[in-house]
Amino acid sequence: MKIKNMFLLLIAGVLLIISTQNTQEVEVRYLFWDTKISLIFLIYTMLSVGVVAGMVYTSFRRVSKEKIMKKKMKMMEIDKITSRKIS
């Protein structure tokens, strides 16, 4: 069995154990809203929200870095062109 498959099987087993042991209901209050939901649903929802927020943040940061690099490259090209004209 490959290491990757064993790792995925281990993760699946851990998630299964966590899911079966956290089935009790918890009360969630947010501003004027309150409800009771399963603890495991709350855990997975918050995990999903965190993963999505991290992906969005990373993509925005990458895009801004690319824009900065393009501006720097354009400035370098302009400097090369002007230095050629002067010489």
Q: Which of 7-16, 48-57, 72-81 has the lowest mean pLDDT?
A: 72-81
CB 53 within 8 A of CB 69: no
Please give the pLDDT value at position 54.
93
Please give the pLDDT value at position 55.
93
pLDDT digits (tens, 9 = 90+) for 28-73: 888 888 999 999 999 899 999 999 999 999 988 888 888 888 887 8
Q: How far is CA 18 from the centre of its chain?
A: 22
Please give the pLDDT value at position 10.
93
Residue 41 one-letter amino acid: F
